[in-house]
Amino acid sequence: MATSSAAHPAKLAKRRFGGDEVAYCFTLLFAVSILVITVFLVWELWVHSSPARGKFGLGFLTSSLWNPVTDQFGALPFIYGTVITSALALLIAVPLGVGAAIYLSELAPPRLSNTLTFLVELLAAVPSVIFGLLAIFTLIPLMREYFEPALQSVFGSLPLFSGHIYGVGYLTAGVILAIMTFPFIISVSREALMAVPREQREAALALGATKWESTYDAVLPFARLGILGSVFLALARALGETMAVTMVIGNDPKIHASLFAPGYTIAAVIANEFTEASGDTYLSSLVELGLVLFALTMIINGLAQLLIVLTTKKGSAKA
């Protein structure tokens, strides 16, 4: 030890005080703990879902039977509910969110823009159970009495808008998810739009384009990856959202063609049935649903991060 240190006097000085290396190792420990936690989480989900995986195999994902009494479990109704409610949410939230982001970045005076963005960020901080509470007592009656009958009277011939109206169901869950996700779309899209270089706008305006034409033809294409990233981010939120959806989805583990029908999502069934689940197969089926949800959101989140990284790099390089 002594001889090898003597060969490198600089290293010796470092080792003797050791502060830097202690600090390095100490903080490294915590950084590594993040990796360990994440790997451990996946491992635990994998292990605890093994009875269900062994019994149903891949058929778990394609079976639409969910019957705790006969110990038959299939994930399809929940996957369907999760995907359809998230898709509905995006259908509503993307135009609203991107429109609002355009207003905030292109039209509003900076002061107003900052104030409104602050309010939108506050909206993102509202706990999901509070959205659920409001939805139960305001949104569900509104949907049942006004929106859904109106939709049915216009589009009633389509299977999507037919059938009995309950108030709870896919569409109501989609609407509440839309309200919960547009703050993410607005704040990330606004950032992406604001990263677009000024010259892009000025060139279009100088060529005689109107404000809207310059925004639509010159600014939006430049920020499209960032906006797409915000959409994926919102999608990941919507897929994993639990409480608000659980309170309005209607809890019916079947696939219905109608958007007005009650359904179920992966997160909602875990929230409702986990503490009541008796028996290994039942519990591990719920854990496996968690694993499916985890995989879904991981893929979507990964894509979102990638897109956001790509655009911010591109934007800053050209600015």
Partner 1 sequence: MTMRKAVNNLMLALCGLCAFLTVSSLFLILGYLIYNGGKSVNLDFFTKLPLAPGEAGGGMANAILGSAEVVLLASIVGLPVGFFAGVYLAEFGSKTFSFVVRYTADLLNGIPSIVIGIFAWTVIVVPMHHFSALAGGLALSLMLIPITTRSTEQFLLEVPRSMREGALALGANKWRTIATVIVPAARKGIMTGMILGIARISGETAPLLFTSLNNQFWSTGLSEPTATLPVMIFTHAVAPYDDWHRQAWAAGLVLLALVLLANIAARMVISRGVSLPK
Window 260 to 319, contacts with partner 1 (CB under 8 A): 267, 270-271, 274-275, 286-287, 290, 293-294, 297-298, 301-302, 305
- Does residue 166 bind partner 1 (CB under 8 A)? no
* Closer residue to partner 1 in complex, CB, 240/258: 240
- Residue 119's Cβ-count burial label (10 Å; 0-12, 13-18, 19+) is exposed
Residue reference for tokens 């999901």: 128
Question: How many Å from the N-terminal Cα to the C-terminal Cα in the chain?
Answer: 53
* 3-class state of residue 158 by DSSP: coil
Taking the complex as a whole, how short is the minimal distance between the CB of residue 148 and partner 1, in angstroms? 20
Q: Which is nearer to partner 1, 162 or 305 (CB)?
A: 305
Does 142 bind partner 1 (CB under 8 A)? Our answer is: no
CA 245 to chain centre: 13
| Max intra-chain CA distance, the chain | 90
By beta-carbon proximity to partner 1, the closer residue of 128 and 311 is 128
* Distance in Å, CB of 300 to partner 1, minimum: 8
Q: In terms of CB distance, is 28 or 158 closer to partner 1? A: 28
Which of the stretches 64-72, 150-158, 219-227, 234-242 binds partner 1 when contact is defined by CB under 8 A? 234-242
Q: Could you give phi then psi for residue 73, rounded to 5 degrees? A: -130, 130
Applying CB under 8 A, which of residues 1, 26, 58, 278 lies at the interface with partner 1? 26
Question: How far apart, in Å, are the Cα atoms of 232 and each of 58, 236, 298?
Answer: 26, 6, 11
- Residue 147 as a binder of partner 1 (CB under 8 A): the answer is no
- CB neighbour list of residue 81: distance below 8 Å, 6 or more residues apart: 170, 173, 249, 255, 263, 264, 265, 266, 268
Candidates 4-12, 62-70, 157-165, 204-212; binding stretch for partner 1 (CB under 8 A): 204-212
Q: How far is the CB of 114 from partner 1 (least distance, A)?
A: 9
Residue 222 CB, shortest distance to partner 1, in Å, is 17
CA dist., res. 152 & res. 260, Å (int)? 9
Contact pick of 108, 160, 303, 310 for partner 1 (by CB under 8 A): 108
Per the CB < 8 A criterion, the answer to whether 308 and 226 are in contact is yes
Query: Based on CB atoms, which residue is closest to partner 1, 151 or 270?
Result: 270
Which one among 65, 67, 212, 221 touches partner 1, defined by CB under 8 A? 212
Here the tokens at position 52 are: 């269900």
259 alpha carbon, distance to own chain's centre: 21
Least distance to partner 1 from the beta carbon of 14, Å?
Answer: 8
Neighbours of 4 (CB within 10 A): 9
Residues 37-76 that bind partner 1 (CB under 8 A): 37-38, 40-41, 44-45, 47-48
Output 300-305 pairs: Cβ under 8 A, ≥24 positions apart.
Answer: 300/232, 300/235, 300/236, 300/239, 301/232, 301/233, 301/236, 303/232, 304/229, 304/230, 304/232, 304/233, 304/235, 304/236, 305/229
Number of shown-chain residues binding partner 1 (CB under 8 A): 88
Q: Which is nearer to partner 1, 23 or 65 (CB)?
A: 23
- Minimum CB separation of residue 159 from partner 1 in Å reads 30
Binding of partner 1 at residue 104 (CB under 8 A)? yes
The residues with which 66 forms a beta bridge, in sequence order, are: 73
Binding-site member from 22, 158, 203, 207 for partner 1 (CB under 8 A): 22
